[in-house]
Amino acid sequence: MKTELRSRILVWSVILLALLNISTIAAILVNNRANSSAEESIIIDPESSPLNGRYLREELNFNHDQVEIFRQESREFRQSANRVIEKLNRYKSLLFEEIHRENPDRLKTKEYSDSIGHAHSQLKEMTVDFYLEIRKCCTGDQAVKLEKIFAPLFRDNPQMRGAGQGHGRRR
């Protein structure tokens, strides 16, 4: 009797462990799939949807070939942009550290500020190149919709204006 009970416990233990392994593998696969689609996304405006192949297929009615062109261009853009963003963040951090020293070196702050401006310029140029490459594969109607999607990147940011809303002093 003890042998039979022990065998049952072992069989149920093996079944339970197998189910646990299967659920762990399934969770990993689902997570990897979600991460890969998130990595292919480009966020243009925090208020809007991320820009990825699925979004363009739905919003612009991109066909398979257009989605593939977008994915290739997007991959190249993200890799280049991420390198510039890392550099930009490094300069911002250095600038922040320098201005909080007891005696900030104004030459260093100017150098860091100039480097931030240069990196930002590089990022804008990359964005322009990316936009133009995507626009090349669009039809006329798609290009109009694409323009609306990218507009937040090239328009004024009202949150960056002071109390006068950019109108200067009115007398």
Q: What is the rounded CA–CA span in Å between residue 138 and residue 125?
A: 20
pLDDT at residue 80 is higher than 60? yes
DSSP class per residue in 5-65: HHHHHHHHHHHHHHHHHHHHHHHHHHHHHHHHHHHT-B-S-TTS--B-HHHHHHHS---HH
Where in the chain are the domains? Answer: 65-152
pLDDT per residue over 43-58, tens digit each?
444 444 456 667 777 8
Residue 33 token pair: 């799939």
Q: What is the pLDDT of residue 46?
A: 42
39 closest CA partner among 77, 86, 85: 77
pTM, 2 dp: 0.60
The model's confidence at residue 62, banded by pLDDT at 50, 70 and 90, is confident
Report helix, strand or coil for 89. helix
Q: What is the rounded CA–CA span in Å between residue 164 and residue 170?
A: 9
Overall fold of domain 65-152: Four Helix Bundle (Hemerythrin (Met), subunit A) (1.20.120)
pLDDT at residue 88 is higher than 50? yes
Q: What is the pLDDT of residue 19?
A: 79
Q: What is the rounded CA–CA span in Å between residue 73 and residue 125?
A: 14
Q: How many Cβ atoms are within 10 Å of 119's Cβ, its own excluded?
A: 20
pLDDT per residue over 103-122, tens digit each?
999 999 999 999 999 999 99
pLDDT at residue 27 is higher than 50? yes
Tell me the residue length of the chain. Answer: 171
